[in-house]
Structures are given as structure tokens and as C-alpha cells.
């Protein structure tokens, strides 16, 4: 039995080796592009949006590219192997689409200098590792404006994922915008310490509604909170992708991460040889983030939201316009002239005045 199995195995191996080498000779070299996903392509949130961009690449470049993705790759010891497997399989451009892949991406990049890497939301770069992220706080400014207009009780419920600067700046931007409409507005925050955990997200939404919130914002990836809000007659904002299917009566709008323009540009750069490591941080202006249609709100709020969106896009509205006062009542240094500069937003680790909470671990 053993011998027979070995023989079969060898035959299979030989057959496959023959097939692949023949295929390699026939076709012109395609650019192989790999993607590492933290969730599944069907999460209707973060990973779904990255996969939409992958599909756009296939549509745009057709035969010139071949894409492969690995989904549900955990950020622990498996990440480095997954990335390296893609590099070994001949992928010359690899998108690693979660912050937690940062060190693994850097490690593999050092081993494969001829492979180009694109890492989302990270801050470590190499000559062959570029980073990119969206200015998600711009969307929060619009959401905060709408929330303050729509909340009858004056309480916003906020589902926090992980207290990193991106999320802290989102909370601050929301409240700063909301305070302009209603200076007495309150924001209640529940941390679920995860980017994607539908069960916990649903529990958090229920807890926030029970505590008197009537508009839910979330920095987590699933549509669970949207569904709860819809069931309980509350309002909510979508995260990463349009969740209107899950909350036809609840969804006000949502910040959609739109990676397609960036991904197309980066693939084009590799194809024409102009790719270089860079740090890209783009927002509404570059369409890296988009707003879902404004729904379930009266016309005047719709108009206010659209005006805010236009203002951020043309630069006349600055989400972090000075003066900004922190929780202790101290005015924050204004490094960008009339607004906080990018480094202050990227490293944001304080709450603005009016948030009745403490940053976890601080």
C-alpha cells in the first residue's frame, strides 16, 4: 500500500511539473499580484472593499495581470508565511491589507527585494514597501454633522474597534462636527477590541441603544450594528461599504473605503516601471473615501451633509480646525497653521473636550 501511494505521488508530482513549465513557456509574462486579507471577501466591510478593488484590477488590465488572494489570514505567526508563500508563487506586487501585517510585510520584503509590497495603514516603509491609507476622519466630520441634526436625544453611540490613532481621530472628528450643531451633544463609546466580531458588535449596539443613544456610529467592519439599529428603529452609519441592504430604514450614510483608484494606479506604475515606495494618505478629494448616498433624513440635513462633503473636498472645511481643546481643557498645539497637521492626526492619542470617557490603556 505504501509503495503504491509513493508511486502515485511521484507520478502526480511529475505530471504537474511538466504542465506548469509548458504553460510558462507559452504565455507572455503576466504581472502576478497577490492580496492578503484579514477577513473573508464576503464580510461586506473592509475586506470586501479591498476585493472590489482587486476585481477592478482584473477588469482594467485583463490578460496583463493575474491576481490571487489569501483570506482570513490571522495577524499572528501565519501572516509572514502567507505573504512569503505569495512571493514564492511569483507574485511581484503584494497588497497586505491589515495593519497587523506590518512587521511580517517588512520581514518578507527584505528577503524579496524584487517584489513590491503595498501595506495599508502602516508606518514602516522600505524601498520596496509603500504604505497607503484613507483619511477616514473626513467622513466622520460629515457623519458627526448629520448625527447631531438627527439625534432626538442628543446622544451618539460609538462602537470603537481598537484604540489606535485612526479610530481616536474618527471619534474626535465626529464630536467636533456634532458640537458645531449641538454644543450639548454627548457621545458614548463601547470598545469591542476587534475589527470584525459581529456578535460583540451587535451586543455593543444594543448596550448603546439601552443607554439612551439613538444614532450609532461604528469603526468596526460588520453590518451587525446596522441590523440592530434597523430592528430597534434607531439610526446608524455604515462602515467601509454601503450597508443599506442591512438597514434600509436606519442607514443615514457611511464612509466607504474606495481602494480602486489607488490600486489601479499602483498596478499601472509597476507595469510601466515607475513604481516607487511612498506614503499615500488620501481622502474625499482623491476619492479614496466616498460617502454612501444620504438616506433616511430630511432634505435640509441632506443639503447640509452635501455642503460639508463639498467643503472638505475643496479644503474650505478643515475637520481639525484650530482651536482644539483636549479633555483636560488644554488647547492643543496647532502645528498646521489653522488646523492640526497630518503628524498630529496620524499619532492622535487624546480625546477632545466633551468626551466623557478615557482612552483604553492610557
Partner 1 sequence: MPFRLERRAEPATAMVALSPLIAVALTIVTMAALFAALGKDPLAALQVYFIVPLTDTYSLQEIAVKASPLVMIAVGLSLCYRANVWNIGAEGQLLIGAMAGSWLAVATHGTNTGPWLLPAMLLLGAAAGALYALIPALCKIRFGASEILISLMLVYVAEFALDYLVRGPWRDPAGFNFPTTAEFDAAATMPLLIAGSRLHAGVILGVLLVIGAAVLLGRTLKGFEIRVVGAAPRAAQFAGFDADRLTLTTFAISGALAGLAGIIEVAGPIGHLQPGISPGYGFTAIIVAFLGRLDPLAILAAGLFLALTFIGGEQAQIALKIPQDMAKVIQGVLLFYVLACDSLILYRVRRTAAHRKAA
Compute the least distance from the CB of residue 165 to partner 1, in Å.
6
The cell for 6 is 509513493
- 260 alpha-carbon distance from chain centroid: 13
CB nearer to partner 1: give 90 or 336. Answer: 90
Q: Minimum Å distance from CB 196 to partner 1?
A: 12
Binding flag, residue 123, partner 1 (CB under 8 A): yes
Provide the strand spans (E) within the chain. Answer: 31-36, 65-70, 93-96, 116-120, 129-134, 155-160, 186-191, 215-218, 235-240, 251-257, 279-282, 289-291
Of 280, 281, 277, give the one whose Cα is nearest residue 109: 277
Q: Which of residues 280-339 bind partner 1 (CB under 8 A)?
A: none
Q: Are 35 and 185 in contact (CB under 8 A)?
A: no
- Determine if 24 is a binding residue for partner 1 (CB under 8 A): no
Interacting positions 234-263 with partner 1 (CB under 8 A): none
Q: Which is nearer to partner 1, 40 or 211 (CB)?
A: 40
> Least distance to partner 1 from the beta carbon of 135, Å?
16
- Is the four-CA dihedral 328, 330, 335, 340 of positive or negative sign? positive
Residue 346 binds to partner 1 (criterion: CB under 8 A): yes
Three cell numbers written together for 295: 438616506
| Cβ contact 204:147 at 8 Å | no
Quote the Cα angle for 340-188-317, to 5°.
30
Minimum distance from residue 151 beta carbon to partner 1 (Å): 29
Exactly one of 153, 347, 356, 358 binds partner 1 (CB under 8 A); that residue is 347
CA 260/CA 270 separation, integer angstroms: 15
Does residue 133 belong to the site contacting partner 1 (CB under 8 A)? no
* x/- track of binding to partner 1 for residues 65-104 (CB under 8 A): ---xxxxx-xxxxx-xxx--xx-xx---------xx--x-
Closest separation in Å from C-beta 31 to partner 1: 16
d(CA 199, CA 109): 36
Q: What is the dihedral of CA 204, 209, 213, 214, to 10 degrees?
A: 120
Binding partner 1 by CB under 8 A: which of 28, 273, 329, 361?
A: 361
Stretch that binds partner 1, among 156-164, 170-178, 213-221, 318-326 (CB under 8 A): 156-164
Q: Does 47 bind partner 1 (CB under 8 A)?
A: no
User: Which residue, 194 or 313, has its beta carbon nearer to partner 1?
Assistant: 194
Nearest to partner 1 of 85, 327 (CB atom): 85
Contact call for residues 199 and 210 (beta carbons, < 8 A): no
Residue 59 CB, shortest distance to partner 1, in Å, is: 17
Distance, C-alpha 308 to centroid of its chain: 21
CB of 361 to partner 1, least distance (A): 4
CA dist 250 and 358 (Å) reads 29
For residues 353 and 344, what is the distance between their CA atoms, to the nearest angstrom?
Answer: 17
Q: Binding marks (x or -) toward partner 1, 158..197, rule CB under 8 A?
A: ----xxxx--x------------------------x----
Nearer to partner 1, 182 or 349 (CB): 349
Residues 337, 349: Cα–Cα separation, whole Å:
20
Residues lying near partner 1 in the complex (CB under 8 A) are found at: 9, 12-13, 16, 34, 40, 68-72, 74-78, 80-82, 85-86, 88-89, 99-100, 103, 111, 123, 162-165, 168, 193, 346-347, 349, 360-362
Amino acid at each position: 500500500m505504501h509503495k503504491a501511494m509513493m508511486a502515485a505521488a511521484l507520478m502526480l508530482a511529475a505530471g504537474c511539473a511538466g504542465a506548469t513549465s509548458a504553460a510558462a513557456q507559452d504565455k507572455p509574462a503576466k504581472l502576478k499580484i497577490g492580496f492578503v486579507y484579514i477577513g473573508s471577501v464576503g464580510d461586506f466591510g473592509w475586506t470586501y472593499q479591498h476585493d472590489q478593488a482587486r476585481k477592478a484590477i482584473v477588469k482594467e488590465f485583463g490578460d496583463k495581470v493575474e491576481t490571487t488572494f489569501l483570506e482570513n489570514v490571522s495577524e499572528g505567526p501565519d501572516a509572514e508565511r502567507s505573504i512569503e508563500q505569495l512571493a514564492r508563487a511569483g507574485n511581484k506586487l503584494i497588497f497586505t491589507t491589515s495593519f497587523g501585517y506590518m512587521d511580517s510585510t517588512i520581514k518578507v520584503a527584505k528577503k524579496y527585494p524584487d517584489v513590491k509590497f503595498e501595506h495599508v495603514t502602516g508606518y514602516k516603509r522600505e524601498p520596496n514597501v509603500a504604505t497607503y491609507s484613507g483619511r477616514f476622519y473626513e467622513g466622520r466630520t460629515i457623519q458627526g454633522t448629520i448625527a447631531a441634526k438627527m439625534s432626538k436625544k442628543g446622544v451618539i453611540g460609538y462602537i470603537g474597534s481598537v484604540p489606535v490613532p485612526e479610530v481616536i481621530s474618527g471619534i474626535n472628528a465626529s464630536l467636533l462636527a456634532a458640537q458645531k450643531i449641538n454644543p450639548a451633544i454627548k457621545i458614548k463609546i463601547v470598545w469591542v477590541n476587534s475589527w470584525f466580531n459581529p456578535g460583540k458588535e451587535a451586543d455593543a449596539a444594543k448596550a448603546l441603544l439601552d443607554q439612551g443613544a439613538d444614532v450609532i456610529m461604528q469603526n468596526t467592519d460588520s453590518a451587525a450594528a446596522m441590523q440592530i439599529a434597523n430592528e430597534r428603529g434607531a439610526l446608524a452609519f455604515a462602515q467601509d461599504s454601503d450597508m443599506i441592504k442591512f438597514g434600509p430604514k436606519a442607514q443615514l450614510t457611511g464612509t466607504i473605503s474606495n481602494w480602486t483608484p489607488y490600486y489601479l494606479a499602483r498596478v499601472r506604475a509597476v507595469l510601466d516601471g515607475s513604481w516607487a515606495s511612498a506614503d499615500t494618505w488620501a481622502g474625499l478629494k482623491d476619492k479614496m473615501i466616498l460617502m454612501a448616498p444620504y438616506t433616511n433624513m430630511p432634505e435640509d440635513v441632506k443639503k447640509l451633509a452635501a455642503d460639508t462633503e463639498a467643503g472638505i473636498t475643496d479644503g474650505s472645511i478643515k475637520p481639525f480646525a484650530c482651536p482644539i481643546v483636549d479633555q483636560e481643557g488644554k488647547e492643543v498645539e496647532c502645528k498646521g497653521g489653522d488646523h492640526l497637521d497630518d503628524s498630529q492626526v496620524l499619532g492622535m492619542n487624546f480625546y477632545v473636550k466633551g468626551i466623557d470617557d478615557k482612552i483604553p490603556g492610557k
